[in-house]
């Protein structure tokens, strides 16, 4: 019998604030981080995006000038986790770093205080490792938009198969740059309004920034959440377009549920980027899995698409949802807009569960949720989390 | 860690403008030839009709060729053959091209066909499409080829039954250097998949 | 007109990396997508960039692309009608 792996801690740095509890409260208040952004550094035209305000974290780390903006954000987040959970820096702690583009902004920033090699992910990883003095070198994963969710799965496998590792920090992050904005623009994937995941009138995605981390352990702490099952399959269909049949996601969910022992799900935290094809693909995959009736949300309406952080960010908020027994509404959704109808969580939905005032609907403690993610390259992942 | 009964079913090295499959030379071209000419020559020698090849970036092309040769040696792959790749530069070749496109003084325009390759795992998507693999893909970024990590990681996946076999290895392709070492690991074969053997194979010191 | 179609053929071959083809292989009326040339969604986006970069034409509605990019001929007609 292999060791169970638990999520025993988490941390978020987002435009809505530092700390995951802070972020969770803001979501229940219906706040979104997505705003119009007119910044010629990013794009020749105005976009809608969710950016982290530097003022919020300036002076919180030592010698910030030695680190890029993204590295500073990682440091801020890692420091908070190490302090809060007293994480050992020795060989028993594994650190996984997930990012799609890391310091790529250095490629097109005119003058830079950093050597060209800093654009490479191993160099960034070593800088972060050195800052804190972790004994193990970081394990870096760059797997498009499933990077964050995949890193949790990889960490779980490494913990289960190595007696020497007792706990793991999994941290993911990306920043918005001209590099990324121009690319998504070329793909005509950006909405010129706050995004509307799964909605009939959705026009595309917004980009967002976040650093999100979870702390995993083989020992369950109080309030721990168990990783019950994971599935990750490629569509084998197209390098950028989601599969029309949702094949890879369907297989991923089926495998995650099989490994988890097919528990009843209280909600699903979908990828829900608000592009026409992605959301449609997800509705088909969920229908094929017989999960169309399960309450489902996308958190992209609050944070935009935070790329390599998104899977982690949304997992952390899902865990807070479990702990608080409150569902997070899917912001931006108004009308069914996929070929397979979904049970999208709306504000009313959340109130029912929270208050339990309606006699027919007593407050149900939330116990289990499914997190899914899909990305360029045809990759998909699904993970089942349950209160331990 | 090296006790597992897993073996190398085929392996391919693309390095210094030469290609070898299972230790046997397949192609060698002039060292001075540009990377794309070298990879195109390799594609032509394969004698297949797969026009998508021309659309790929250098990283994908090199990986495509290596896996194509491995498929001939130990394929066709089961459709749950997982892909566990790693390199240092991620998708730097395409990253630089995209950064150049959008920094162009006269006409800064991003090319969707370039941007899509600015993710290292796109190569695994290309392989999945070509060989119809519905499987787990992971792309690790390391300082250098790290069999000490990759070998036990693959064994754990096989032990857990998450894949029937795995294509894994090191895929570093830059404008200056092509260093691709991929191997197909599973239940059959003669070379035990151990860290020690995978070090020697990478260095070209062992023949099948 | 035929000058423009020839130019488009050359551009399409280069931009979309259709290395096995030459200008002579392309017919003005071969469908670009589906059973014809077999272009895909990324190629379609690349053609939109080509219109913008090469001819200063921005496709406002992506759905418009389907008709415009049916064949080399439809593309040439569209460019003739819209270029500045």
Name the percent of chain A lying above pLDDT 70. Answer: 95
Model confidence pLDDT, tens digit, residues A323-348: 999 999 999 999 999 999 999 999 87
The terminus-to-terminus CA distance of chain C in angstroms comes to: 16
Q: How many whole angstroms separate alpha carbon A154 and alpha carbon A378?
A: 18
Residue A217, burial from CB neighbour count under 10 angstroms (0-12, 13-18, 19+): buried
Residue A228 in contact with residue A352, Cβ under 8 Å?
A: no
Q: Which residues from chain A sit within 8 angstroms of residue B136, using beta carbons?
A: 232-234
Contact C53 B55 (CB under 8 A): no
- Any chain A CB within 8 A of the CB of B52? no
Q: Backbone phi, then psi, for A210, in 5-degree steps?
A: -165, 155
- Any chain C CB within 8 A of the CB of B203? no
Q: How many whole angstroms separate alpha carbon C31 and alpha carbon A340?
A: 32
pLDDT band at A164 (very low <50, low <70, confident <90, very high): very high
Q: What is the ipTM of this complex?
A: 0.95
Q: Backbone phi, then psi, for A57, in 5-degree steps?
A: -130, 5
B 123-152: CB under 8 A from A: 124-126, 128-129, 132-143, 149, 152
B18: tokens are 């030469």
Coil, helix or strand for A99?
coil
Model confidence pLDDT, tens digit, residues A168-178: 999 999 999 99
Domain encompassing residue B195: 7-202
**In chain B, which ranges are continuous DSSP H helix?**
35-46, 58-74, 92-103, 112-115, 122-131, 147-159, 195-202
Contact A238 C62 (CB under 8 A): no
Provide CB contacts within 8 A for C69, sequence distance 6+: C32, C33, C39, C44, C47, C75
Q: How many CB pairs under 8 A join A and C?
A: 13
- Any chain C CB within 8 A of the CB of B161? no
Residue A92 in contact with residue A166, Cβ under 8 Å?
A: yes
**Which residue ranges make up each domain of chain A?**
6-217, 225-387
Contact C62 A188 (CB under 8 A): yes
Give me the mean pLDDT over the A363-377 stretch: 93
Q: Is the sign of the CA dihedral A156, A157, A158, A160 positive or negative?
A: positive
Q: How many whole angstroms separate alpha carbon C47 and alpha carbon A9?
A: 48
Residue A144, burial from CB neighbour count under 10 angstroms (0-12, 13-18, 19+): buried
Model confidence pLDDT, tens digit, residues A219-255: 999 899 999 999 999 999 999 999 999 999 999 999 9
Provide CB contacts within 8 A for B105, sequence distance 6+: none
pLDDT at B112: 96
Model confidence pLDDT, tens digit, residues A265-291: 999 999 999 999 999 999 999 999 999
Q: How many whole angstroms separate alpha carbon A195 and alpha carbon A187?
A: 16
Domain A225-387 falls under CATH 3.40.47.10: yes
Q: How many whole angstroms separate alpha carbon B22 and alpha carbon B208?
A: 6
Neighbours of chain C (3+ CB pairs under 8 A): A, B
pTM for the model stands at 0.95
Residue A359, by phi and psi: left (phi above 0), alpha (psi -120 to 50) or beta? alpha
pLDDT band at B208 (very low <50, low <70, confident <90, very high): very low
Residue A149 in contact with residue A311, Cβ under 8 Å?
A: yes
Q: Which domains does chain C have, with CATH numbers?
A: 2-82 (1.10.1200.10)
Q: Which residues from chain A sit within 8 angstroms of residue B137, using beta carbons?
A: 143, 232, 234, 377, 379
Q: Which of A165, A308, A373, A64 is nearest to B141 (CA)?
A: A308
Domains A6-217 and A225-387 share a fold: yes
Say whether the peptide bond before residue A73 is cis (omega within 30 degrees of 0).
no
pLDDT at A96: 98
E strand residue ranges, A24-146: 35-37, 47-50, 93-98, 139-141
pLDDT at A372: 98
Q: Which of A83, A107, A20, A98 is nearest to A317 (CA)?
A: A20
Model confidence pLDDT, tens digit, residues B146-172: 999 999 999 999 999 999 999 999 999
Report the residue count for chain A.
388
Model confidence pLDDT, tens digit, residues C14-71: 999 998 889 999 999 989 998 788 888 899 999 999 998 889 998 877 678 888 999 9
Provide the b/e sequence for B20-57 (b: ≥16 CB within 10 Å): bbbeeebbeeeeeeebeebbbbbbeebeeeeeebbbbb
User: For position B133, which CATH number holds?
Assistant: 3.40.47.10
Q: How far is C-alpha C25 from the chain's CA centre?
A: 15
- Any chain C CB within 8 A of the CB of A236? no
> How many domains does chain B fold into?
1
Confirm whether B55 is domain-assigned.
yes
pLDDT at B3: 55
HEC secondary structure over C37-77: CCECHHHHHHHHHHHHHHHCCCCCCCCHHHHHCCCHHHHHH
Class of the domain covering A6-217 = alpha beta
A322: tokens are 């479990």
A 100-139: CB under 8 A from B: 100-102, 104, 107-108, 119-122, 125-126, 137, 139
């Amino acid at each position: 019998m292999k060791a169970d792996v638990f999520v025993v801690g988490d941390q978020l740095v987002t435009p809505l604030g530092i700390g995951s509890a802070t972020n969770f409260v803001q979501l229940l208040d219906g706040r979104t981080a997505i705003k119009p952004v007119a910044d010629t550094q990013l794009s020749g035209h105005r976009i809608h995006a969710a950016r982290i305000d530097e003022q919020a974290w300036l002076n919180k780390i030592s010698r910030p000038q030695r680190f890029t903006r993204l590295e500073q954000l990682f440091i801020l987040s890692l420091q908070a986790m190490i302090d809060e959970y007293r994480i050992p820096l020795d060989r028993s702690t594994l650190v996984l770093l997930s990012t799609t583009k890391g310091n790529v902004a250095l490629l097109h920033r005119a003058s830079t205080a950093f050597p060209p090699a800093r654009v490479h992910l191993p160099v960034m990883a070593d800088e972060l490792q050195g800052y804190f003095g972790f004994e193990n070198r970081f394990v870096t994963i760059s797997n498009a938009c499933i990077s964050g969710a995949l890193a949790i799965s990889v960490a779980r496998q490494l913990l289960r198969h190595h007696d020497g590792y007792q706990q793991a920090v999994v941290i993911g992050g990306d920043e918005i740059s001209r590099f990324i904005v121009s690319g998504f623009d070329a793909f005509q994937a950006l909405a010129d309004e706050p995004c509307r995941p799964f909605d009939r009138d959705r026009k595309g995605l917004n980009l967002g920034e976040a650093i999100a981390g979870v702390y995993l352990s083989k020992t369950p702490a109080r309030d721990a959440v168990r990783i019950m099952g994971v599935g990750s399959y490629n569509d084998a269909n197209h390098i950028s377009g989601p599969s029309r049949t949702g094949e890879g996601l369907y297989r991923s969910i089926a495998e995650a549920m099989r490994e988890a022992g097919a528990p009843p799900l209280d909600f699903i935290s979908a990828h829900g980027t608000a592009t026409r094809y992605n959301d449609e693909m997800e509705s088909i995959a969920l229908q094929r899995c017989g999960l169309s009736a399960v309450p489902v949300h996308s958190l992209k309406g609050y944070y935009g698409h935070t790329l390599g952080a998104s899977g982690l960010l949304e997992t952390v908020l899902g865990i807070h949802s479990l702990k608080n027994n409150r569902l997070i509404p899917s912001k931006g959704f108004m009308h069914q807009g996929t070929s397979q109808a979904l049970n999208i969580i709306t504000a009313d939905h959340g109130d029912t569960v929270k208050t339990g005032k309606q006699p027919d609907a007593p407050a149900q403690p939330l116990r289990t949720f499914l997190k899914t993610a899909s990305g360029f390259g045809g990759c998909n992942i699904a993970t089942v989390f349950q209160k331990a | 860690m090296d006790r597992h009964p897993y073996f190398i079913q085929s392996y391919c090295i693309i390095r210094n403008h030469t290609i070898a499959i299972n230790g046997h030379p397949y192609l060698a071209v002039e060292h001075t030839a540009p990377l794309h000419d070298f990879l195109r020559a390799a594609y032509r020698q394969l004698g297949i009709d797969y026009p998508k090849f021309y659309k790929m970036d250098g990283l994908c092309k090199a990986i495509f060729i290596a896996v194509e040769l491995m498929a001939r040696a130990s394929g066709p792959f089961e459709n749950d053959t997982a892909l566990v790749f790693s390199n240092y530069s991620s998708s730097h070749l395409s990253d630089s091209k995209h950064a150049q496109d959008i920094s162009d003084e006269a006409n800064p325009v991003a090319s969707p066909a370039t941007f899509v390759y600015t993710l290292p795992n796109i190569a695994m998507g290309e392989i999945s499409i070509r060989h119809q693999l519905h499987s787990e893909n992971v792309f690790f970024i390391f300082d250098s080829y790290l069999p000490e990590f990759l070998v036990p990681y693959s064994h754990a996946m096989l032990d857990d039954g998450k894949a029937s076999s795995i294509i894994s290895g090191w895929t570093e392709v830059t404008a200056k250097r092509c260093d691709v070492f991929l191997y197909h690991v599973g239940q059959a074969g003669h070379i035990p998949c151990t860290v020690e053997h995978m070090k020697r194979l990478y260095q070209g010191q062992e023949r099948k | 007109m035929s000058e423009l179609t020839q130019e488009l053929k050359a551009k399409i071959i280069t931009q979309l990396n259709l290395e096995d083809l030459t200008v002579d292989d392309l017919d003005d009326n071969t469908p670009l997508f589906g059973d014809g040339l077999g272009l895909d969604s990324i190629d379609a986006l690349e053609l939109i960039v080509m219109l913008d970069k090469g001819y200063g034409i921005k496709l406002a509605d992506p759905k418009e692309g389907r008709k415009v990019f049916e064949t080399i001929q439809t593309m040439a007609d569209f460019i003739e009608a819209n270029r500045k």
